[in-house]
Structure 1
C-alpha cells in the first residue's frame, strides 16, 4: 500500500512538473526585438543581422511581407503581384535586392492589354474619354514639392508649417493650376481615400520627387515577377528560430533602465524576449497596441490618428473581355476621379481571365462587404456590356491593407504633431518605423529605416 501511495504521489508530482514546464514561458535574449514582419520590419531585421546584431521578429501572419501579396497560379506557376508591384530605383533598394540575391531590371510601370475608361459605379464604358496631358502640370507640381526637401526623409516640416501644406489638395491644385496632373498623381495615391480632401502634405509625402523621377526613368522590378521572393529570401537569412510567425505580443515592459521585456504567444507557447531595443513596425493605432505599455505621450499622439482603407485582390470568372483593363473615371466629378468607396479599376494580368482589383475608401469596411461590392460592380459592368453568362465572379486572392494611410488634422500638424511624433525615436528604448512615419512605399520605407539604424545600434 505504501509503495502504491509513493507511486501515485510521484505520478502527481511528475504531472504537476510537466504542467508547470508547459506553462512556464521560454526566456530568450536578443539585441533587438522587432514587432511586425512587413516591409519595414523585415528590412530592419536583415540590416541589423548584417550589422552583427541578434534580432527576433514577431509577426502575426504565417509569412513575412505585410502588404506584399503574390499569387501563384496552381496550373501554370505564373506569379501575380497584387499588393506591392514595383520599387523605386534607388541605392538602398538595389543594395537590398543584391543582398537577397534577387535579380532586377529597370522598366516603366506597365499594364496588360488595352485600357478602357468606364464609370464602374454605373457600369458604363466612357467612349472617347481622353485624359489630360499632364506634362506641364507635373513639372509645376514637382517645383512645389521641391520647396520642402525635409519631406524626402520623413515628416520633417518647416516651422511654422506653411498653409500650402495643410490645405486640402483640391484647393492646392486650384491655387497652382495643377488640374492636368491630378489623374496621374491620384493613380499613384490609391488607398488615400478622398484624394482632393487629403492634406497637401500627405500627397507630397506619398507622391514626391522620387515618384516623379521614377515615372520618367523607370521602376526597379524583380526579374522573376515575384515580389514575395524578397521575404522568402529574408526568412532564410534570418532563420526560422529568429522569426516568430503566427505570434502575438501579450505584454511589454519598457520600464527597465537597460532593456525591454516582450512576452509573446507563439504556436509553441509563451516566450519572454529580453532585448536591448524594441523596433515597432506596425501601424500605431491604439487598437493595434492594447497589449503594449504605452505611456501618456504615446497614447496622446496615437489617439489623434485616423486612417483610410485599401483592399486588393484577384478575381476570376468575370465574363469580361480578356486583356482589357478598365480604369474607373467619373466625368461628372472634379478631374474625373472615381467615386469612393469603390474600385479604382479592374486590371488585366498575365493570366488570361484573371483580373486585379483595387478598392479604396475613406473609412474601413468589413471584408465581406468589400468583396460583395466588387462582385456587384463586375456583374453590373458586364450586364451593361451585353455579356450574357451565368458565371459567378470568384476571388482567388484577397487582402485588406487597412489601416492604410494614417493621418491627423491640419490643426494637429500646425501644433507640432510631427515634431512630437519624431521625438519618440529612442523613447523607452523604442524605435518606430513604417508608413506612418514616412509613406506607404517599400523602397522609401527601407530608406527611412536605414536612417534609424545608427540610433538603434548605438
Structure 2
C-alpha cells in the first residue's frame, strides 16, 4: 500500500508525534555510528514525559543533544491535567494548578508563547465539616496564620539548601528528622498547620512525616509566593505547555510506550528496548535520564545494580487523587473543607477528602482526596460517595449526587524514606547514582512535588548530563 505518513499514523492508532517513524527516528546521534533499521539512536533517552522529562528534553535539544522521550501515557505533562467541560467549553486544571513566580518559570512559558496571570484563590463561602460524620463543625474559625508563618519562615531560613534538592549536611540536623507534629510543638507553630495541610495535599499523614519532607514541600519560595502571588496560565489551561512541547518534540516522543529491558553497562551505548504502539523498538543512547518515580515496580525492565536496587527499594509513597463532580448538590459558591473535630490541629483524617470547592463553572466542583497509602480508583470513588451521603444525611449539603465528570489518580505521590534512613545517609548515597551506569535522575523523588522547583533542579543537572 502507498500510504501517506498521516495515514500510517492513523492506522497504528497513535496520532502525530506518538511513535518515532521516518528519518528522525533512525538518524544517528551526532558523531555516532548508525543503528539498525529498527534502532533509534540518540545522545539521551529520557524515561518519562512529566514536568522533569519534558523540560529536560526541550532543554537538551537546545544544548545540542539529540533526544527521545519514552512516555507510558498518551500525552505529556504527568500531574498537569486539564479537563474540558463539553457543555461550556471551559478548561479546568485538576492537577498542577499554580506555578512559582520566578524568572525560570516565566522564561519557560514565554518560550511557548503562553501568557501567564497571577493566580487567584478563595472566594465564596467555606463550610468546615468532619467528613467522618458529615456534620458541619459549628463555630470553627481557622487560625490567622500570619505570625505563625513568620515563625515558620525563620525555621526554614536555617535550612536554605532544602530549596535546591537533597544536598543535606552530615550529620543531618535532628530537627529535620522529627515528625512534623513534634517539630510544630517544639517551636510553637500550631497556627501554621492548617496552611501546610492546604498546600501540602498529597503528603499523607502530615504530622508523622519527617519535617524534612514537609519543609521541602512547603518551603521558603512557597512563603514568598504567598506574599507576591503565584502564577497560572491566562487561558486557564496549564496543559497547553505540554501540548506545545509535544508539537515541538514531534517524532522524538514515544507515547503509550514502556521500557521492557535495558543494558547500560557495556559498549559505547545504553540499549533500551521499548514496546510502542508500532511494535518493539530499540533505543541506543549514550545517556539515560530517568524522571519517573524510581520505585522498583516502575523499573521492572531495568538492569538495576545492587546499589540502585537497595536504594530504590527503601522508598515508600503517599497517594493523591483529584477530580470534578458534576451537579453535586453543593451550591456553586460553597466549599466544604474537611477538618477533624477531635484531631490534633483539626487535621483531616485520611484516607479522606481534603476539600470540595467550586470549579468556576456552574454545576462543577473540584474534589481533592488523599491517603497515606495507595488505594484503587474504585475504593477512592466509593469513599467519596459515602462522604457525600454523610454530608447530606447530616444536613451539611442539601443533596448528594456524585457524577464524576473526570477523575485522576496522582499515585504514587510523595516518595519518602524513614527518618532513620535519612540519618544514615540515604540521600548522600542516592546522589552517587547521578551518572552511574550512564544514568541520571530527576523528578519529584529528587526534590519535591512542585513543577517549578523540579524545573529548577533539572536545569542544574543538565550540564552534567551534557558533559558526561
Deviation of 1:387 (Å): 5.8
Secondary structure at 2:161's aligned position in 1? helix
Say whether 1:81 aligns with 2:93: yes
1:150-229 equivalences under 5 Å are 150-229=161-240
1:361 to 359, 371, 377: 371
Say whether 1:302 aligns with 2:312: yes
1:416 to 425, 439, 460: 425
Secondary structure at 2:271's aligned position in 1? strand
- 2:13 corresponds in structure 1 to none
1:24-423 equivalences under 5 Å are 26-107=38-119, 109-239=120-250, 241-385=251-395, 392-423=401-432
User: How far apart, in 2, do the equivalents of 1:417 and 1:215 lie?
Assistant: 32
Deviation of 1:78 (Å): 0.4
- 1:14 corresponds in structure 2 to none
User: How far apart, in 2, do the equivalents of 1:448 and 1:257 lie?
Assistant: 30
Deviation of 1:392 (Å): 3.9
Higher Cα Rg, which structure? 1
Deviation of 1:379 (Å): 2.2
Q: Is the 8 A contact 2:388 2:401 kept in 1?
A: no
Q: Is the 8 A contact 1:112 1:349 kept in 2?
A: no
Q: Is the 8 A contact 2:180 2:209 kept in 1?
A: yes
User: How far apart, in 2, do the equivalents of 1:25 and 1:292 lie?
Assistant: 23
- 1:19 corresponds in structure 2 to none
Q: Is the 8 A contact 1:323 1:352 kept in 2?
A: no
Distance 1:39 1:386, change over 3 A: closer
For residues 210-263 of structure 1, the C-alpha deviation after alignment (integer angstroms, 9 at most, x for no partner) is 111011100011101101001001011111x11100001111110124321111
Deviation of 1:185 (Å): 1.3
User: How far apart, in 1, do the equivalents of 2:427 and 2:407 lie?
Assistant: 33
Q: Is the 8 A contact 1:115 1:324 kept in 2?
A: yes
Q: Is the 8 A contact 2:134 2:396 kept in 1?
A: no
Which range moves more in the overlay, 59-68 or 25-34? Answer: 25-34
User: How far apart, in 2, do the equivalents of 1:181 and 1:35 lie?
Assistant: 38
* RMSD over aligned Cα atoms: 1.4
User: How far apart, in 2, do the equivalents of 1:401 and 1:51 lie?
Assistant: 31
User: How far apart, in 1, do the equivalents of 2:96 and 2:72 lie?
Assistant: 19
User: How far apart, in 1, do the equivalents of 2:123 and 2:238 lie?
Assistant: 18
Unaligned runs of 5+ in 1: 1-23
Distance 1:187 1:392, change over 3 A: closer
Q: Is the 8 A contact 1:319 1:382 kept in 2?
A: no
User: How far apart, in 1, do the equivalents of 2:397 and 2:413 lie?
Assistant: 35
Q: Is the 8 A contact 2:71 2:258 kept in 1?
A: yes
Q: Is the 8 A contact 1:284 1:436 kept in 2?
A: yes
Deviation of 1:137 (Å): 1.1
TM-score, normalised relative to structure 1: 0.92
1:436 to 441, 445, 449: 445
Say whether 1:445 aligns with 2:454: yes
Deviation of 1:54 (Å): 1.2
Deviation of 1:163 (Å): 1.0
User: How far apart, in 1, do the equivalents of 2:346 and 2:212 lie?
Assistant: 22
Deviation of 1:158 (Å): 1.4
Secondary structure at 1:265's aligned position in 2? strand
Q: Is the 8 A contact 1:40 1:433 kept in 2?
A: yes
Deviation of 1:106 (Å): 2.6
For residues 347-370 of structure 1, the C-alpha deviation after alignment (integer angstroms, 9 at most, x for no partner) is 111111211111111111111000
Deviation of 1:317 (Å): 2.8
User: How far apart, in 2, do the equivalents of 1:257 and 1:220 lie?
Assistant: 46
Q: Is the 8 A contact 2:135 2:396 kept in 1?
A: no
Q: Is the 8 A contact 2:136 2:396 kept in 1?
A: no
Distance 1:387 1:215, change over 3 A: closer
- 1:10 corresponds in structure 2 to none
Secondary structure at 2:246's aligned position in 1? helix
TM-score, normalised relative to structure 2: 0.90
User: How far apart, in 1, do the equivalents of 2:91 and 2:65 lie?
Assistant: 34
User: How far apart, in 2, do the equivalents of 1:62 and 1:313 lie?
Assistant: 19
Aligned length: 432
Secondary structure at 2:457's aligned position in 1? helix
